[in-house]
Amino acid sequence: MRKMRKKKFREIKQNVKRVRNEIREEVFLNFPNTLTMSRILFAFIAVYMLFSGFSRWWVAIIFAIGAITDFFDGFFARKLKQTTIIGARLDQVIDRVFTAIIVFALVFYFIKYNKSGILLLLLISSREIIALPGVLIRIIRDKDAYKVKYIGKITTLVQSFAIAFIIVGFSWSIYFAVVTCLVGILSGFDYLKDSLK
């Protein structure tokens, strides 16, 4: 038992050292990372506008600008040769936080104004719901939780369109929600499968 604890402690110490070295060797505050972090600001502006009586079109536009930064941060990181491990990880974390802030805000909004919208939000959250056990497995197994995959990027893109259409309140948002749900299921199970390897 003591040997196992010592081994686990040694592994944690090595991981902390690895992360410190990554931070020391990489420039954290560069243009692509600043663009990535700006998504959180856009999320809070969109939430404020949603609950302050702004047109839902304006809320959708602010959300869309925030979502577009997900493309441009990677583009500029490659163009300016500022790709970093920390930047790639930050991008994935901010993607999830950005989406979570908007989805939670919309849940509260729809509880008050339009309960049918909650079903759409559940559909577009399929990836997150299915992948959650995978995240926990990776944490327990101490595996890298930030592996970027093409299916994940596709899911994020489709999810962003669906959220924008749901914000505006288009009647055909259900079709985008279903497509997002199906792509999200594939993406979630792919992540779960990778976690179990």
Q: What is the mean pLDDT of residues 165-182?
A: 92
Q: What is the pLDDT of residue 85?
A: 73
pLDDT grade for 149, boundaries at 50, 70 and 90: confident
pLDDT surpassing 90 at residue 58: yes
- Please give the model's pTM, rounded to 2 decimal places: 0.78
Q: What is the pLDDT of residue 197?
A: 75
- The separation between CA 117 and the C-alpha centre of its own chain, rounded to angstroms, equals 20
Q: What is the pLDDT of residue 2?
A: 65
Q: What is the pLDDT of residue 87?
A: 76
pLDDT grade for 147, boundaries at 50, 70 and 90: low
- pLDDT tens track for 5-55: 666 667 777 766 766 665 555 556 788 888 889 999 999 999 999 999 999
Residue of higher predicted confidence among 137 and 178: 178
- pLDDT tens track for 75-127: 888 887 877 777 777 888 888 889 999 999 999 999 988 888 888 999 999 88
CATH number of 2-196: 1.20.120.1760
Domain borders along the chain are 2-196
Strand, coil or helix: 6: helix
DSSP letter string, 20-61: HHHHHHS-SSSHHHHHHHHHHHHHHHHHHHHHTT--HHHHHH
The CA distance from 96 to 131, in Å, is 12
The CA distance from 177 to 163, in Å, is 8
Amino acid of residue 104: F
Q: What is the pLDDT of residue 93?
A: 82
Residues 99 and 157: beta-carbon distance below 8 Å: no
pLDDT surpassing 70 at residue 164: yes
Q: Work out the burial of residue 92: count CB atoms within 10 Å of its CB; fewer than 13 is exposed, 13-18 middle, 19 or more buried.
A: middle
CB atoms within 10 A of CB 27: 11
